[in-house]
């Protein structure tokens, strides 16, 4: 008899993150921990001090004289093409002829020491000719300055319906940008090899794009550039396209010096030089009936793209596709604008435009509810998508998996929302200065990249003759737990313990032509690709087992680390050994492409998403009406994860996303001076939530018994981004607290982030009658 073993851990188990111990002990190796080759150099960037200026000349003489300096590069040194644009062509890694934002990299230095590189960078003399700069969305709109054409999503006849609507409201509201503030800043190490090969270690969500960027800059075929990433210390979208700039410059310096180069940005340079979440200016005109049913909407979402397109067209598309959130709006037009300003180019950030689109519609519904003196939840319930009718989005996709009423209902019941509301009202009646607010938010988030082509993934699985498994796929690990989830899927396919599966660094040499790990679809895509690879190998193993014991293949089963054929069994490793001895391959690639999706970018119609995930949250805040200070006192979250691949990991994602969303909507303010220079480029001035900002009462639940109705990997749902939008409940709760000092029906004007300054101003406006 074997000694009893602990239960096998596969899919759906709360297995801890494969690097959990490494993260907390400091043993997990990040790029900055990697031992460098002895001839490696360190690099520093030269950034533009001007928001918009012509580069008349760059004088490197003084910099090159600093002892230890080995190489310097400007755009003129690039042997290939100065282009790393992820969507549009012609977006430079180093400013060429003109700098378009304060922080724009114009040159880079490589030296024996980091100190020498930084000293030399400070001595680079640029002859600037300052040019007029566009520094706000308003200025860009007035100048019709855009990085890409407008995108219009429309249905019906919004003009006519607005004209006929019994009630009509209009307004304007803004949400701010957000720095990713990953713990590990942007970093890359480039190591030149034989015959101009270039090996790049990059903290990137998108190794393939780094490969392409480096190849373009150096004029190399893709096959001569290999990009590897084991893990990132956080990315949040900030290392989707931005990492290519850093890796590209490191590779340029390595090529020029003929030596390995490490480029690690100091936090200030990181915040100045690389893109952030897009701020949006939102203008709306909405038509309603007397009960608050939305009849028509004309909405303009103007995003601040910064100086180049980068990913902005896709971010705007996702903003459009989330400006409905959970609501049926019969006649609608949403115009998405990608405003070109002389600021750092904004980029992917958790939610990718979705949060801004939902912010817009939730602000509109809050205005509507206050105007009609109705509870916000009542107005929402009257507008939810139906199940049989009124269930088609403005972009033409039928909401087939609508569970929003179930999710909001379960949350409301589990937290006794009416009792909670009564307690908040009672507090406010007896508290003249500190006022509480309470609000909920429902969330529906579409899963898949809007661009169907990107929804593909590859994997590579090897089974060794001792039964241990080597797993590789195109997804990258940024702390979100992708590696452990995909390992669990492979363990499940072979019915072995997840500890038998060894995950390995993502490399363009192992799995080619990958998409960014983004759009929350990492486990959906790579999980399926890895499953396909594992199933191919399992199929071969079944045949060997069947032949060995003379049973039909259908009678071979895998369970608990063993393989059974009637009364016979082998351990998984014994069968692997048997396969090898019979010359059967134990290695396979796997590939997956998401079915059912299509998207027409010209008309903004299609089925861009494989499915939706749903969630709901309720938050209670307190504000000090004399200072504008605020605290989030309690948050209750309910998130749909389908059949969660790993409830412990998902819980961490939900909590983390919510707190990050709170930061976006409350304390994280990016401040530029009147010459377009970012003032908030370090933790002393840029305030991300700290541990004491986490609500003291903070409960997270995963929706039970909710398998994905679409055939996703083990019926799970994506989780990385959607819960960030649950934090809209906090912003709405602040508006609720502000409203409590004014007459019923008063309009609350509060942009995000709701800093104390803005909260105080909103309180004063409401006191003055709204």
- Which residues contribute to the site for ligand MTE (CB under 6 A)? 234-237, 350, 478-480, 482, 517-523, 653, 656, 718, 720-721
- 138 counts as catalytic: no
CB-wise, 479 or 608, nearer to ligand MTE? 479
- Residue 274 makes contact with ligand MOS by CB under 6 A: no
Provide the minimum distance between the beta carbon of 682 and ligand MOS in the complex, in angstroms, as a whole number.
23
- Alpha-carbon distance of 457 to 531, in angstroms, equals 11
Residues forming a β-bridge with 699: 636
Q: Rg of the chain's alpha carbons, rounded to an integer? A: 27
SS (H, E, C) 28-84: CCCHHHCCCCCCCEEEEEEECCCCCEEEEEEECHHHHHCCCEEEEEEHHHCCCCCCC
Pick one of ligand MTE, ligand MOS, none as the site partner of residue 729 (Cβ within 5 to 8 A by kind). none
Closer by beta carbon to ligand MTE, 238 or else 313? 238
Question: Is residue 134 within 8 Å of 340, Cβ to Cβ?
Answer: yes
Please identify which residue in the block is written with the tokens 């998984």.
572
Q: How far is the CB of 610 from ligand MOS (least distance, A)?
A: 15
Closest distance to ligand MOS from the beta carbon of 118 (Å):
30
639: helix, strand or coil: strand
Between vectors from CA 292 to CA 291 and to CA 298, what angle results, nearest 5°?
A: 145
The residue of the chain with the least Cβ separation from ligand MTE equals 522
Which of 710, 721, 749, 764 is catalytic? The answer is 721
Q: Residue 593 has which token pair?
A: 């492409």
**C-alpha closest to that of 91 among 213, 251, 206:** 213
Size of the site for ligand MOS (CB under 6 A): 10
Residue 514 binds to ligand MOS (criterion: CB under 6 A): no
Mark residues 200-239: x for contact with ligand MOS by CB under 6 A, - for none. -----x-------------------------------x--
For residue 453, CA distances in Å to 32, 515, 517 come to 34, 9, 14
- How does 489-512 read in b/e, with b if 16+ C-beta sit within 10 Å? bbbbbbbbbbebbebebbbbebbe
Q: Element (H or E) spanning 337, and its range?
A: strand 331-340
- Of 162, 245, 259, the C-alpha closest to 202 is 245
CA distances from 201 to 63, 218, 227, 258 (A): 27, 16, 6, 16
Give the shortest CB-24-to-ligand MTE separation in angstroms.
14
Residue with tokens 């569970």: 403
Per-residue x/- track, 665-704, ligand MOS (CB under 6 A): ----------------------------------------
Supply the minimum distance, in Å, between the C-beta of residue 707 and ligand MOS.
24
Strand ranges for 381-538 from DSSP E: 434-447, 456-463, 469-473, 501-503, 506-507
At closest approach, how far in Å is the CB of 692 from ligand MTE? 20
The DSSP bridge partners found for residue 71 are: 110
Question: Rule CB under 6 A: which of 333-362 touch ligand MOS?
Answer: 348-350, 352
Cβ atoms of 611 and 447 within 8 Å: the answer is yes
DSSP run (H or E) holding 554? none
Binds 179, which of ligand MTE, ligand MOS, none (CB < 5 to 8 A, cut-off by type)? none
User: Among residues 208 and 740, whose Cβ is nearest to ligand MTE?
Assistant: 208
Q: Is 473 in contact with 456 (CB distance < 8 Å)? A: no
Between residues 178 and 740, which has the closer beta carbon with respect to ligand MOS? 178
Chosen from ligand MTE, ligand MOS, none, partner binding at 82 (C-beta under 5 to 8 Å by type): none
**How far is residue 274's CA from residue 288's CA, in Å, rounded to a whole number?**
42
Residue closer to ligand MOS, measured from CB, 415 or 657: 657
Closer residue to ligand MOS, CB minimum distance, 367 or 655 = 655
Residues 18, 240, 285, 710: which binds ligand MOS (CB under 6 A)? Answer: 240
What residues between 149 and 208 interact with ligand MOS by CB under 6 A? 205
Name, in order, each residue with C-beta under 8 angstroms of 358's C-beta and a sequence gap of 6 or more: 322, 323, 325, 443, 725, 728
Place of tokens 């939305």: 294
Among ligand MTE, ligand MOS, none, the one that 521 touches (CB under a kind-dependent 5 to 8 A) is ligand MTE
Confirm or reject binding of residue 15 to ligand MOS (CB under 6 A).
no
Per DSSP, 562 falls in state E
Beta carbon nearer to ligand MTE, 165 or 232? 232
Q: Rounded to the nearest whole angstrom, what is the least distance from the CB of residue 359 to ligand MTE in the complex?
A: 17
User: Which residue lies nearer to ligand MOS by CB, 192 or 479?
Assistant: 479
Residue 752 or 763 having the CB closest to ligand MOS:
752
User: Shortest distance, CB of residue 430 to ligand MTE, whole angstroms?
Assistant: 41
Q: Which residues 702-721 are close enough to bind ligand MOS by CB under 6 A? A: 721
> Rule CB under 6 A: is residue 609 a binding residue for ligand MOS?
no
Does 664 interact with ligand MOS (rule: CB under 6 A)? no
Residue 234 binding partner per list ligand MOS, ligand MTE, none, with a CB distance cut-off of 5 to 8 Å that depends on partner kind: ligand MTE
CB of 527 to ligand MOS, least distance (A): 16
Q: Omega into 753 within 30° of 0, i.e. cis?
A: yes
Residue 208 phi, psi dihedral angles, 5° rounding: -65, -40
- What is the Cα–Cα distance from 358 to 361, expressed in whole angstroms? 5
Q: Which does 353 bind (CB under 5 to 8 A by kind): ligand MOS, ligand MTE, none?
A: none
When the beta carbons of 351 and 437 are compared against ligand MTE, the nearer one is 351
Find the DSSP H helices in 100-157: 114-123, 137-142
With CB under 5 to 8 Å by kind, the binding choice for 19 among ligand MOS, ligand MTE, none is none
Range list of β-strands (E), 675-726? 697-702
Contacts with ligand MOS, residue ranges (CB under 6 A): 205, 237, 240, 348-350, 352, 518-519, 721
Question: Annotated active-site positions, please?
Answer: 721
């Amino acid at each position: 008899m074997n000694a009893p073993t602990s239960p096998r851990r596969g899919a759906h188990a709360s297995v801890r993150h494969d690097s959990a111990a490494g993260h907390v002990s400091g043993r997990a190796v990040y790029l900055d921990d990697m031992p460098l080759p002895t001839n490696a150099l360190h690099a520093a960037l030269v950034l533009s001090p001007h928001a918009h200026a012509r580069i008349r000349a760059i004088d490197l003489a003084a910099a090159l004289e600093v002892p230890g300096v080995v190489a310097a590069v400007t755009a003129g040194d690039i042997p290939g093409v100065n282009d790393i644009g992820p969507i549009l062509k012609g977006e430079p890694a180093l400013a060429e002829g003109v700098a378009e934002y304060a922080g724009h990299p114009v040159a880079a230095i490589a030296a024996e020491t980091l100190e020498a590189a930084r000293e030399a960078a400070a001595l680079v003399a640029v002859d600037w000719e300052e040019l007029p700069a566009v520094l706000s969305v308003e200025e860009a709109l007035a100048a019709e300055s855009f990085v890409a054409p407008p995108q219009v999503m429309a249905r019906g006849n919004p003009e006519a319906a607005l004209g006929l609507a019994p009630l009509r409201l209009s307004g304007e509201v803004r949400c701010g940008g957000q720095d990713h503030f990953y713990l590990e800043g942007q970093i890359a190490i480039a190591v030149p090899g034989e015959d101009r090969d270039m090996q790049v270690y990059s903290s990137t969500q998108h190794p393939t794009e780094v490969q392409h960027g480096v190849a373009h800059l150096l004029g190399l075929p893709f096959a001569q550039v290999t990009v590897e990433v084991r893990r990132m210390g956080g990315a949040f979208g900030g290392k989707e396209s931005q990492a290519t700039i850093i890796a590209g410059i490191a590779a340029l310096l390595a090529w020029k010096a003929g030596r390995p180069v490490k480029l690690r940005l100091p936090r200030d340079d990181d915040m100045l030089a690389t893109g952030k979440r897009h701020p949006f200016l939102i203008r709306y005109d909405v038509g309603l009936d007397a009960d608050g049913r939305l009849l028509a909407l004309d909405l303009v979402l103007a995003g601040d793209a910064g100086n180049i397109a980068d990913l902005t067209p896709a971010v705007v598309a996702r903003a459009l596709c989330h400006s409905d959130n959970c609501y049926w709006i019969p006649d609608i037009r949403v115009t998405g604008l990608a405003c070109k300003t002389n600021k750092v180019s904004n980029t992917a950030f958790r939610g990718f435009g979705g949060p801004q689109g939902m912010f817009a519609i939730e602000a509109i519904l809050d205005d509507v509810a206050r105007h009609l003196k109705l509870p916000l939840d009542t107005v929402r319930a009257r507008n939810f998508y139906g199940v049989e009718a009124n269930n088609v989005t403005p972009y033409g996709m039928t909401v087939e998996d609508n569970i929003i009423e179930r999710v909001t209902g379960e949350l409301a019941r589990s937290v006794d929302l009416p009792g909670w509301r009564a307690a908040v009202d009672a507090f406010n009646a007896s508290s003249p200065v500190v006022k509480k607010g309470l609000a909920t938010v429902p969330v529906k988030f579409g899963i898949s990249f809007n661009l169907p082509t990107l929804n593909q993934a590859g994997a590579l699985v090897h089974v060794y003759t001792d039964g241990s498994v080597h797993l590789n796929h195109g997804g990258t690990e940024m702390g979100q737990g992708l590696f452990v989830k995909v390992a669990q899927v492979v363990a499940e396919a072979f019915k072995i313990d997840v500890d038998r599966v060894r995950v390995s660094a993502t490399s363009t040499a192992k799995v080619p032509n990958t998409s960014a790990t983004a759009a929350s679809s990492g486990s959906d895509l790579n999980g399926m690709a890895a499953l396909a690879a594992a199933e191919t190998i399992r199929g071969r193993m079944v045949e060997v087992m069947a032949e060995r014991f003379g049973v039909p293949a259908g009678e071979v089963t895998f369970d608990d680390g063993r393989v059974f054929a009637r009364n016979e069994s082998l351990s998984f490793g014994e069968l692997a050994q048997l396969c090898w001895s019979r010359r059967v391959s134990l290695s396979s690639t796997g590939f997956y492409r998401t079915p059912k999706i299509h998207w027409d970018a010209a008309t903004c119609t299609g089925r861009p998403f494989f499915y939706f995930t749903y969630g709901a949250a309720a938050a209670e805040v307190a504000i000090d009406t004399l200072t504008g200070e605020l605290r989030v006192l309690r948050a209750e979250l309910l998130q749909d994860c389908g059949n969660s691949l790993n409830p412990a990991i998902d819980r961490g994602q939900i909590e983390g996303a919510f707190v990050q969303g709170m930061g976006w909507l409350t304390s994280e303010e990016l401040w530029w001076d009147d010459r377009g220079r970012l003032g908030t480029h370090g933790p002393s001035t840029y305030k991300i939530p700290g541990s004491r900002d986490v609500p003291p009462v903070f409960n997270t639940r995963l929706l039970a018994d909710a398998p994905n109705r679409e055939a996703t990997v083990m019926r799970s749902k994506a989780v990385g981004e959607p819960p960030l939008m649950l934090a809209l409940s906090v912003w709405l709760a602040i508006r609720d607290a502000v409203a409590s000092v004014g007459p019923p029906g008063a309009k609350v004007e509060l942009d995000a982030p709701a800093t104390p300054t803005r909260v105080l101003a909103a309180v004063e406006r409401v006191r003055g009658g709204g």
